[in-house]
Amino acid sequence: MASPKREKLLEVARRLFETEGFHTTGIDRVLAEAGVAKMTLYNNFGSKDGLIVAVLESASNDMVARLQEAVMASSSDPYEQVLGVFDAFGIWFSDPNFCGCMFQAAVAEYPDPQSQPAKAARTHQLRVCDMFGQLCAQAELPDSESLGKMLAMIASGAMCTARQVQTREPADHARQIAEILLERAGSIGFAPAEAEIANGLV
Amino acid sequence: MASPKREKLLEVARRLFETEGFHTTGIDRVLAEAGVAKMTLYNNFGSKDGLIVAVLESASNDMVARLQEAVMASSSDPYEQVLGVFDAFGIWFSDPNFCGCMFQAAVAEYPDPQSQPAKAARTHQLRVCDMFGQLCAQAELPDSESLGKMLAMIASGAMCTARQVQTREPADHARQIAEILLERAGSIGFAPAEAEIANGLV
DNA sequence: GAATAAACAGAACGATCGGTCTATTGTACC
DNA sequence: GGTACAATAGACCGATCGTTCTGTTTATTC
């Protein structure tokens, strides 16, 4: 399963897809830079689409692992751990090689929601939502599921914006927003906001 | 400048680029659906890239105009006008034909920041930031420029997420976040005068 | 009605794409 | 040492791409 040639292909393909896009990166480019024969690619992945899906799955695992790492490294307090994710974003965005979120690019390049790349991107998005949601649940914040979705949305906005402006500023902005959001969510548990009272939710 | 054939090309190309992507949409598809000869396209736009840039510029104008419309239609209060944008997003996302923000797709498909589509997308992003920033300035909120960027980032996250989940939920979440953000910004700037605002003196 | 220009249909071009096929080389295992 | 398998290089295929070129038709203007 994990042959060295296969890993090399995944690594090179991921880099090229990230920096130059899926459609514009030809099979031959990947093969040349990986130093691998064409048939090796087709034996391992079946097609270019197969390679793309494999790259996305691999990238999702890496990304989630890195986020978990950022979470663990920052603090034992779930509240701080959420903010730690955006700190990690700041470091990520500062990398001159940063070129945005691969899954956003995949969705953009494969607009059909039924396509495999789009499905892989959706799966990844759910993982991120879950991660944020679980942290909020651990922080005993109310409606952790919605909170998780909101945080994931802020993260998406940050990645998307960072790609355009090429600075770490979006990460800092996202962190500020997340901080306000968490603070507010925390205070709701003790002192409900007027809107919720008016809506009869309390 | 504004020949009917040219307009027809822009209209069809925009629809196809939106729904199927820039690279996957061939020139011949555009020509066939627009009922226009090939040379007409090249006389008007010079190349496919020229057509893409023209489509993006036209789409930016339309988008900004629609946002301004949503702002004007909602209220005369800048605070409410900001939220009106996200209400408009809700309607937009509910459209079954909604397929995300064209400029995010353009950036994804043309990763080179120096490419013309990327530049057009960046220009558009600045216009949106400015629009939010001006609304915040009119609302006399402190640091309206940063606030504008944050709101634009939230908007980007909402559009990006809405494309994946295909519901209007991200618009509602974004509105909630914007509301909290504005409230917080307002209370910082006018903390001493909060009572007066509540009393309707401002 | 003649002249000018724009738009037309469509063949053709060179390039590139994803994918297949062939024939050869290296390598591990019994 | 022979067998089996993986990987190699590279020719080759059909399709599609963006673009150019040719010749004809339509519409506008003097």
At B65-92, the pLDDT tens digits run 999 999 998 788 888 999 999 999 999 9
Percent of chain B with pLDDT over 70: 92
Percent helix / strand / coil, chain B, rounded to 5: 80, 0, 20
**Nearest chain B residue to A23, by CA:** B23
Residue of B nearest to A159 (CA): B157
Report helix angle A116-138 to A78-94, nearest 10. 140
Query: For A120, which residue in chain B has the nearest alpha carbon?
Result: B164
B169·A177 Cβ contact <8 A: no
- Taking contacts as CB-CB distances below 8 angstroms, the residues of chain A near B160 are 104, 153, 156-157, 160
Task: Pinpoint the alpha helices (H) of A75-115.
Answer: 78-94, 102-109
Q: Supply the pLDDT for residue A186.
A: 76
User: What pLDDT shows up at residue B28?
Assistant: 94
Task: Reply yes or no on whether the pLDDT at A54 is more than 90.
Answer: yes
Helix A48-74 to helix A102-109 angle (10° resolution) is 150
Higher pLDDT, B158 or A184: B158
Q: What is the mean predicted confidence (pLDDT) over B36-64?
A: 94
B184–A181 C-beta distance less than 8 A:
no
Distance from CA of A1 to the nearest CA of B (A): 31
* CB A48 within 7 Å, strand D: no
Give the DSSP H or E segment for B89: helix B78-94
pLDDT of residue A2: 60
Q: Residue A119 CA to nucleotide D3 C1', Å?
A: 44
pLDDT of residue B185: 84
Distance from CA(B31) to C1'(D26), angstroms, rounded: 19
- Rounded mean pLDDT, A15-42: 93
User: If pLDDT is split at 50, 70 and 90, which confidence band does A199 have?
Assistant: low
Rounded mean pLDDT of B105-129?
94
Q: Are A33 and A12 in contact (CB under 8 A)?
A: yes
B38 CB less than 7 Å from any atom of strand C? yes
- Point out the residue among A24, A164, A173 whose CB comes nearest to the CB of B122: A164
Helices (H), B46-77: 48-74
Which strand D nucleotides have any atom less than 7 A from protein CB atoms?
Answer: 6-11, 16-23
Helix (H) or strand (E) holding B114: none
Nucleotide nearest to A48 (CA to C1'): C18
Proportion of chain A above pLDDT 70, given as a percent: 92
pLDDT band at residue B200, thresholds of 50, 70 and 90?
very low
Using the CA of B23, which nucleotide's C1' is the nearest one? D17
8 Å CB contact of A20 and B111: yes
Backbone angles phi, psi at A133, to 5 degrees: -60, -40
For A43, the token pair is 């034996």
Work out the minimum CA distance from A189 to partner chain B, whole angstroms.
16
| Weakest mean pLDDT among A139-148, B3-12, B141-150 | B3-12
- With cut-offs at 50, 70 and 90, classify the pLDDT of residue B188: low
A169 interfaces chain B, CB cutoff of 8 Å: yes
Interface-testing mutation among B129, B143, B177, with chain A (most A C-beta atoms within 10 A): B177
Q: How confident is the model at residue A5 (pLDDT cuts 50, 70, 90)?
A: confident
Q: How confident is the model at residue B192 (pLDDT cuts 50, 70, 90)?
A: very low
Q: In this structure, are residues B127 and B145 in contact, taking their beta carbons and an 8 Å threshold?
A: no
For residue B65, give how far its alpha carbon lies from the nearest alpha carbon of chain A (Å): 22
